């Protein structure tokens, strides 16, 4: 279903065999957007939960055997043709939703939060921000990691370059989300910088799928140093073939990153390809490349985890039936030989037009895999312990048409968000209910009924010996089995862990080149916030 390309490379090399050039670019001309020019995240009610759609998923008010409930429906209350749910990411008690066509193309993001992980805790969505100019497409992509939020606006015009693109960065200071800065794409109309974004710790990757005379595409890796995101990338990757649209897909987790797209031709037409990179010290290096074996496989949708699991969706495989391939390489992984195929996940329906693998998301325990081409769409949930059959499949009520349920999926710790940016009706329980005109879009939030205490929050601030917030320190949380979670402090020294299992002890340590901190042991029984960790004198 999927084949790996084995390619050796040195620090700077042109990969002519696969049409990729990469280097630490010195000619990169990205500009920086000052914080005062960044759209503010303000408190406004931009979405509302639809009465009658909160509660059990299923008929007769019965709890389904797998305890999965339809918790809420989030619909637009500000206008039509917004494409709400074009991008969605959920992490812990925070969810960010993009609507790039809102306000005649300015675009908008909405941030939703909940008080805790109890299934009865409703999502509230009062915080939003929108683009500055018509056509910006603000919210076409979103990425979120702890205290950092990245928003792509690939339609941004700079000077006379329409669609040059930009990204905007926000950081949580423990109380509010503050604008940090923005980065403009390389000069050139139609580059689409910000078409895709991903962030993990002190690094982020950004795609510009329209870059180049013939839309070869490009991707960039950026680093946060000293609490500031540098506008010059530490690495760039360029597609060399016409209409590759390289960078239409990017992904990042821990010390792994990937970039590619479904239009790339490798031994066929529109096989799709993703190239994988790993971080060692402060240097990103190419490891491997994966592409669909069949023409038209359109490999592209990708998810990865920090422990080396990589999931590829091939929605065009076998005339549109679709398939999902899983690989792994336990960290630290620095060579192609370390990767091994761990299995394919077949389309449960076997429908040739299902496009299974269009949406892929994995939270370390469960897979959310979508097939929007089956009738009005399906989302299948698989356990990592059983890839042969899903433990649940979700689909619209009969009669709902053309909504492409599952176009976008995001799963994390018992919460599943499903985006339908082309939906013009509410597909569950109130089939045929109009959204008010045009393709407004809908986001549905499903939640595990049993997650009354799925995990706790551990957060606080790291301070220097004189009491100032220490940015860019590495905070590590280690459980009794030796599993490690890490987070980096923001500009004000803030850090945050979410979905930490309760009922056990953890060792919390802080790493800094300049300051020394004593390890702390904490017994976690509920949310633990407001920790103050100060360097020794």
Q: pLDDT-based confidence at 237, cuts 50/70/90?
A: very high
Mean pLDDT of 297-317: 86
Give the per-residue pLDDT at 15.
Answer: 23
- Say if CB 269 and CB 287 are below 8 A apart: no
Of 20-29, 88-97, 341-350, the range with the lowest mean pLDDT is: 20-29
- For residue range 121-178, list pLDDT tens digits in order: 777 777 778 888 888 999 999 998 878 999 999 999 999 999 999 999 999 887 788 8
Of 181-185, 209-213, 438-442, 466-470, the range with the lowest mean pLDDT is: 438-442
Give the per-residue pLDDT at 173.
Answer: 82
Domain ranges of the chain: 2-30+75-360, 456-534
What residues have CB less than 8 Å from 277, skipping those under 6 apart? Answer: 221, 235, 256, 257, 258, 259, 284, 285, 286, 287
CA 26 to chain centroid, in Å, comes to 28
Decide which of 109 and 482 is more confident. 109
Q: Among residues 404, 391, 446, which one has the least CA distance to residue 90?
A: 446
CATH node for 456-534: 2.60.40.1120
Q: pLDDT-based confidence at 280, cuts 50/70/90?
A: confident
Tokens standing for 313?
């969706």
Mean pLDDT of 419-446: 64
Give the per-residue pLDDT at 449.
Answer: 52
Instruction: For domain 2-30+75-360, give the CATH superfamily.
Output: Integrin alpha, N-terminal (2.130.10.130)
- For residue range 239-258, list pLDDT tens digits in order: 878 888 999 999 998 888 99
Q: pLDDT-based confidence at 438, cuts 50/70/90?
A: low
Decide which of 56 and 191 is more confident. 191
DSSP state of 115: S
Percent of the chain with pLDDT over 90: 28
Q: pLDDT-based confidence at 51, cuts 50/70/90?
A: very low
Identical fold between 2-30+75-360 and 456-534? no
What residues have CB less than 8 Å from 100, skipping those under 6 apart? Answer: 83, 86, 87, 107, 108, 137, 138, 139, 140, 155
Query: Distance (Å, rounded) from C-alpha 468 to C-alpha 470?
Result: 6
């Amino acid at each position: 279903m999927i084949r790996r390309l084995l390619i050796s490379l040195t620090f700077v090399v042109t990969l002519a065999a696969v049409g990729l050039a990469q280097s630490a670019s010195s000619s990169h001309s990205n500009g920086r957007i000052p914080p005062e020019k960044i759209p503010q995240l303000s408190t406004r009610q931009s979405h509302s939960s639809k009465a009658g759609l909160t509660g059990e998923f299923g008929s007769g008010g019965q709890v389904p055997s797998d305890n999965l409930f339809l918790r809420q429906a989030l619909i637009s209350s500000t206008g039509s043709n917004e494409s709400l749910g074009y991008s969605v990411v959920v992490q812990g008690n925070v969810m960010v939703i993009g609507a790039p066509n809102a306000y005649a193309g300015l675009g908008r993001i909405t941030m939703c939060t909940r008080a805790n992980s109890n299934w009865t805790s409703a999502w509230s969505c009062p915080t939003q921000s929108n683009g500055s100019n018509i056509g910006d497409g603000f919210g076409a992509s979103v990425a979120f990691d702890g205290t950092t939020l990245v928003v792509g606006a690939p339609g941004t015009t700079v000077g006379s370059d329409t669609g040059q693109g930009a990204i905007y960065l926000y950081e949580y200071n423990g109380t509010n989300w503050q604008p940090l800065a923005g980065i403009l794409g390389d000069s050139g109309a139609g580059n689409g910088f910000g078409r895709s974004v991903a962030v993990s710790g002190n690094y982020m990757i950004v795609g510009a799928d329209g870059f180049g005379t013939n839309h070869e595409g490009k991707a960039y890796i950026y680093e946060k140093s000293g609490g500031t995101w540098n506008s010059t990338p530490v690495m760039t990757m360029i597609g060399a073939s016409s209409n590759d649209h390289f960078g239409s897909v990017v992904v990042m987790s821990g010390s792994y990153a990937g970039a590619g797209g479904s239009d790339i031709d490798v031994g066929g037409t529109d096989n799709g390809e993703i190239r994988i990179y790993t971080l060692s010290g402060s240097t990103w290096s190419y490891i491997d490349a994966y592409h669909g074996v069949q023409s038209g496989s359109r490999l592209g949708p990708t998810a990865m985890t920090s422990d080396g699991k990589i999931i590829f969706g091939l929605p065009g495989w076998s005339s549109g039936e679709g398939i999902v391939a899983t690989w792994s390489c336990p960290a630290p992984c620095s060579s192609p030989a370390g990767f091994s195929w761990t299995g394919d996940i077949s389309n449960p329906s076997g429908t040739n037009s299902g496009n299974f693998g269009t949406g892929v998301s994995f939270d370390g325990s469960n897979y959310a895999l979508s097939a929007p081409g089956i009738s009005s769409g399906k989302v299948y949930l698989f356990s990592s312990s059983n890839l042969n059959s899903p433990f649940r499949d979700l689909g619209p009520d009969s009669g709902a048409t053309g909504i492409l349920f599952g176009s976008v999926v995001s799963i994390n710790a018992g919460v599943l968000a499903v985006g339908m940016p082309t939906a013009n009706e509410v597909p569950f329980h109130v089939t045929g209910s109009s959204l008010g005109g045009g393709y407004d879009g809908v986001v549905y939030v499903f939640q595990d009924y049993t997650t009354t205490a799925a995990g706790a929050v551990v957060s606080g601030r790291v301070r220097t010996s004189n009491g100032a917030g220490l940015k860019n320190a590495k905070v590590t949380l280690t459980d009794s089995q030796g599993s490690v979670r890490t987070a980096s402090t923001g500009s004000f020294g803030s850090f945050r862990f979410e979905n930490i299992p309760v009922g056990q002890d953890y060792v919390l340590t802080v790493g800094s080149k300049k300051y020394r901190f004593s390890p702390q042991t904490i017994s976690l029984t509920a949310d633990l916030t407001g920790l103050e960790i100060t360097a020794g004198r």
